Chain A
Amino acid sequence: TQLLEQSPQFLSIQEGENLTVYCNSSSVFSSLQWYRQEPGEGPVLLVTVVTGGEVKKLKRLTFQFGDARKDSSLHITAAQPGDTGLYLCADIYNQGGKLIFGQGTELSVKP
């Protein structure tokens, strides 16, 4: 069974700090997606990474896919209160139509 492990589970930082959250898999990722979820809302897709070693940037967010495609990281530079939310990684399980999520990293950025 593929398992997606995210760390840390909780993160509380001050505005302006940098942070990194991680997503690791027990097997090779098919096509890793990162989502952000705000309270009371459904998750929203941030990025999809497919190729080992791939790096994608979205404003202050940098997403990296490990060379072996078993790990990924999300780095936020100069975090802002608007970055507060639950960050989830997801991957397709066993090519069987199942998009499986990790348990998420809950980020709180204080002014």
Chain B
Amino acid sequence: NAGVTQTPKFQVLKTGQSMTLQCAQDMNHEYMSWYRQDPGMGLRLIHYSVGAGITDQGEVPNGYNVSRSTTEDFPLRLLSAAPSQTSVYFCASSYSLLGKLFFGSGTQLSVL
């Protein structure tokens, strides 16, 4: 099993550009989530999903959109990138909310 796969690994954007961070899991997990990690801030929840067709906002949702059309995929869209969105982004999944969270290897995003 590949687990949780994130692409791309690195990305540089200009202010105002849009892009989609891809996340796929092959463990048939219902729960998926996106976090951003900044120095000294730990992991902050952006959006999460408890199943296909169901998404909800986390702690820092502004500037990001998500959708969950299948169990496997949970893409994160940046609508108009801003320098404040420079961060490392992690996708994660688990069988249930209380279950072990499996993380992808992260996407390092720089917005110039």
Contact = CB atoms under 8 A, between A and B. Distances in A.
Interface of A: 4, 6, 9, 31, 33, 35, 40-45, 48, 88, 90, 92, 96-104
Nearest to A86: B42
Given A31-B98, A100-B45, A42 B40 contact: no
Interface residues of B, number: 25
Interface of B: 4, 31, 33, 35, 40-45, 48, 50, 56, 58-59, 90, 92, 97-98, 100-101, 103-106
Contact of A88 (B42, B56, B59): B42
Nearest to B4: A42
Contacts of A41: 103, 105-106
Q: Which of A9, A92, A98 lies at the interface centre, i.e. has the most chain B CB atoms within 10 A of its CB?
A: A98
